[in-house]
Amino acid sequence: MVVPTTWKRIAVLEDPALAEALSRVASLYPGVPVARLVHDLAIKGAEAAAEERANSDRKIQELIKWSTEGRGLIDWDALDRIDEEAWGN
């Protein structure tokens, strides 16, 4: 018996890349229907992508902070005079 759902369905083409990806993980989820596997992997992929972006944003903010507040790490006066020092102007 098929139970109707109120959720919107999404058609996904099983192209060679998706087929290969599903093949790689099928043994990790024995007996799980392909539709459920695609659903679960999409959610895990979205979580991983969001975490990757958050990590990247954090690293960029750390670099910005280091480059603007790291007064003890860089001789900022020498850096301000770099053109004069390098070219003798």
Is 3 domain-assigned? Answer: no
Q: Which residues form the domain of 28?
A: 16-87
| pLDDT for res 71 | 64
Is 7 domain-assigned? Answer: no
**What is the domain count for the chain?**
1
Is 42 domain-assigned? Answer: yes
* Each residue's pLDDT expressed in tens, for the chain with a length of 89 residues: 777 889 998 999 999 999 999 999 999 999 999 999 999 999 999 999 999 999 999 999 998 888 787 667 778 788 888 888 787 65
Is 10 domain-assigned? Answer: no
| pLDDT for res 75 | 80
Give me the DSSP letters along the chain. Answer: -PPP-SSPP------HHHHHHHHHHHTTSTT--HHHHHHHHHHHHHHHHHHHHHHHHHHHHHHHHHHHH-TTTS-HHHHHTHHHHHH--
